[in-house]
Structure 1
Amino acid sequence: MEIYLVRHTETICEKGICYGQADMDIKEPYLDVFEEIKAQLPTDAIVYSSPLMRCKKMAEFISNESTFDKRLMEMNFGNWELQPWNDISQEEIQSWMDNFVTVSVPNGESFEDLHERVGEFYSELLHKKEAKVIIICHAGSIRSILSHYHKTNLIDAFSLYSIKYGEVIKLSF
């Protein structure tokens, strides 16, 4: 089995804004970048994607038969969604930063919550034993899958796995 993890391309969101499950569009022009990404992927793979627009556009470009799964969505930042990071209470941010793995964002998720829902998807996928799979999603979701794959601690996910916009990561089983 081969799994190709693909992060969406750059969004139109201004730098310094907190966004996770907010449905942000991607920067144009993007078709040339999509072509470059598609060239790195097998043509006979099954495509799964987060339903958020920034992933959905690429999935539909790569395949007419993509499956969209909410479990692949980015972390839910709750009250912080679309807020400038600098405007969020320093006390709230510090509490979360001190233990982002288990502390939930107000009315949102912790990284552990994201990891659990992404892990459910990942486990189901491994049981299907499809030959080649493309997963188009977000940095947080990809870090979660990589933590499952490499059996690493969640606390290390951000230091171990830096994922660029449009990056393709191949996992082999």
Structure 2
Amino acid sequence: MTALWLQRHAQPLVAPGVCYGRTDLAADDRATAAAAQALQGAWTAEALPAGTVWHSPLQRCTQLATALQMQAPAFQLRACNDLAEMDFGAWEGQRWDGIAREEMQAWTADFMAYAPGGGESLATMMARVTRALDAARQQARETGQPVLWISHAGVAQCAHWLLTRGQRLPLAKDWPSVKLAYGEWLRLPLFSDL
């Protein structure tokens, strides 16, 4: 099975309860080093060759990609804008519990098309994750190896949804479809019958 390994960045340096989406934050250095070590250990345990690490260009993901490369220099890093977190527009930097209830209701009522804070809609984000998945499939076909992404919870949600539910559109009640803690990864099959 050719898999997508999707690693989430380590704990960002932000107060709990803050919407930070596309905000370019650093992550905790110790947590980043531990996440890189765990991932490199799992990759080695499965005897997988070092290849290209696709990562979000946001600092917290670049940190983890760089830490992984320091432990395993054969990994090559490639920033990919399609792997960035959702842009929450004017909501960025606000506490989730401080966002107007009407705005949150508008988002849940039109979950795919509404752009939270005037930022990016889920439909737009799903389209760019679909592009990234197409590139991952192409790489897997060419190399016969798994693909490694270092990204965000939102990207993990989109990839998981697209790879496990096909073209069915999510509703707010369906989300999140998977939970991925800071520094954790999941493996998803890149090719399926969906």
**TM-score, length-scaled by structure 2:** 0.81
Matches within 5 A, 1:1-173: 1-30=2-31, 31-41=33-43, 42-63=48-69, 65-128=76-139, 129=141, 130=143, 131-152=145-166, 153=168, 154-155=170-171, 158-172=175-189, 173=191
Write out the 4+ residue segments of structure 1 that deviate beyond 4 Å after TM superposition. Answer: none
Distance 1:163 1:47, change over 3 A: same
Structure showing greater Rg: 2
Q: Secondary structure at the match of 1:5?
A: strand
Deviations 1:111-160 (A, max 9, x none): 11111111111112212323221100011101111112112533365243
**Aligned-partner residue type, residue 64 of structure 2:** M
SS in 1 for 2:188: strand
Please give the root-mean-square deviation of Cα atoms over the aligned residues, in Å: 1.8
Contact 1:40/1:168 (<8 A) preserved = no
Percent identity between the two aligned chains? 26
Unaligned ranges ≥5, structure 2: none
Q: SS of the residue aligned with 1:16?
A: coil
Output the CA distance in 1 between the equivalents of 2:181 and 2:41: 17
Matched residue count: 173
Looking at structure 2, the residues matched to 53 and 83 of structure 1 have their Cα atoms a distance apart, in angstroms, of 20
Provide TM-score, normalisation by structure 1: 0.90
Give the letter for the 2:128 counterpart: R
Q: Is the 8 A contact 1:75 1:140 kept in 2?
A: yes
Residues 1:146 and 1:8: Cα distance change in structure 2 (over 3 Å): same
Whole-angstrom CA distance in 2 between matches of 1:115 and 1:159: 14
Gaps of 5+ in 1: none
